[in-house]
Amino acid sequence: MLARSVLDHWDMKPFFPILLAFALISCGHGPNRTQASGNVPRELPSGTVSPNGPVLSYASVVDNVAPAVVTIRATSRVHAPQQFPFFNSPFFQQFFGGGVPQSPRTEVQEALGSGVVVRPEGYILTNDHVISGAQDIRVDLPNKHTYKATVVGADSPSDLAVLKIDAAGLAVLRLGNSDQVRVGDVCLAVGNPLGVGETVTSGIISAKGRSTEMGSGSFQDFLQTDAPINKGNSGGALVNTRGELIGINSQILSPNGGFIGIGFAIPSNMARTVMDELMKQGKVRRGMLGVTIQQITPDLASGLGLPKAEGVLVSGVAPGGPAAKAGLQSGDVILKVNGQDVNDSNALRNEIAAMQPGTEVTLTILRNGAEQNVRVQLGELNEQNAQAQAQQGNGSGASKLGIEVTPLTPSIAQQLGLPRGTQGVVVSAVDPTGPAGQVGIQEGDVIEQVNRQPVRSAADVQKALARSGNGTPLLLVNHGGQTVYVAVPLQ
């Protein structure tokens, strides 16, 4: 568990081949760190400034922050593979007269990461992937004291967890307002990279609102930073120059596991919300709309008859879900939630998830060129429906084929010059290295059937593909008004 190669967190879409050479690495697991006891930190200056203005040192900020950052050691026992599994195969049994009995073996794995003290009575915030599956968790403080930790609650979708140690009077790190963070702000990363001990690095906020795995069932709104972070920094602190926690370091984008200037931290406002729920009830409850959605590109906007690329496109509606009960349809464009503009599919997903089940929201949608308001009472997102939405891949519903699809509306059909009455889903993006791209399917093609089943939404495509198993799906494709059956080998 020294570092996790992630695309287990976050939708690196298959339509960006240039990113395939990279791996998202959870910046967790790398030995040793410490932490000190003390009181809630006082306000300190942002840094030591020379007479002419430039900051010469952040030592005062580090003095305030470092005592509240700890090392976490999570130990798990896993079954080791058999040394000689072939001895139990029928082929070898005919020579050796039966299987060779082998005693079950277990191996001990130790994950090393970082954490942040958020309550003086011993509550610690860290990444879920640092402690996931661990049977024994130890926390090292900077004063060289080590404590056994218990898990208060863990939330895989946000990659956050809260631990508790039997200690009091600990130094804590004050949570800042990550919404006020600006691209270009100076930030410091504190953690235990590669097990070398507590380390402080500096950089700037490179971007906000990043998502690295849409469609995976996780909820992300990352701060991106170029402050060097590596394996072992997971769960550690990203702070501003006032010594406030603005993020929990979580992942890096890297071709080889080393830092190349692209790191991601969970913003403090999301961490605060998740932390509070975990401390109150041990789990996080999230609202659910019951739709799959996708970003509206300029081409889609043109096909939908929109004056500009705004809003979020509904590409699938879960039968019997809250949106379906309220009358939402595939092809609707969500323009606003409770009067606030919506222009990003990931932001909409996070906003709905942050609401409690049962909350009533008003959606302003665009349907057939006319705006209307729809009231929806949110359901509760659970593991089962979260996985179903994740499998549908942020509304594409066809990631298995290496394509993205969107419902065919009359305006898109007219734009493509298709005969009146043509129905299906439009291919909006193609991975040229994927199965569909290899057999010649192109953007703008219309898939009318999958395995002889008519499809009208991404969800229809997903269901029809599921019937193929590992076989070869048969697609009826309309290319420029001409239909042809196309077999798409998945291997």
**Catalytic residue, candidates 159, 332, 445, 460:** 159
User: CA of 453: how far to CAs of 6, 51, 448, 469, in Å?
Assistant: 35, 74, 8, 15
**Catalytic residue, candidates 76, 234, 330, 428:** 234
- Is residue 411 part of the annotated active site? The answer reads no
Query: From CA 277, how far away is CA 297, in angstroms rounded?
Result: 36
- Is residue 226 part of the annotated active site? The answer reads no
> Do 190 and 198 touch, CB atoms closer than 8 A?
yes
> What's the per-residue H, E or C state across the chain?
CCCEEECCCCCCCCCCHHHHHCEEEECCCCCCCCCCECCCCCCCCCCEECCCCCEEECHHHHHHHHHHEEEEEEEEEEECCCCCHHHHCHHHHHHHCCCCCCCCCEEEEEEEEEEEEEECCCEEEECHHHHCCCCEEEEECCCCCEEEEEEEEEEHHHCEEEEEECCCCECCCCECCHHHCCCCCEEEEEECHHHCCCEEEEEEEEEEEECCCCCCCCCCCEEEECCCCCCCCCCCEEECCCCCEEEEEEEEEECCCCCCCCEEEEEHHHHHHHHHHHHHHCCCCCEECCEEEEECCHHHHHHHCCCCCCCEEEEEECCCCHHHHHCCCCCCEEEEECCEECCCHHHHHHHHHCCCCCCEEEEEEEECCEEEEEEEECEECCHHHHHHHHHCCCCCCCHHHCEEEEECCHHHHHHCCCCCCCCCEEEEEECCCCHHHHCCCCCCCEEEEECCEECCCHHHHHHHHHCCCCCCCEEEEEECCEEEEEECCCC
**Catalytic residue, candidates 128, 129, 211, 399:** 129
Amino acid, single-letter form, for residue 312: V
- Is residue 76 part of the annotated active site? The answer reads no
> Do 385 and 303 touch, CB atoms closer than 8 A?
no
Length in residues, the chain: 491
Catalytic residues: 129, 159, 234
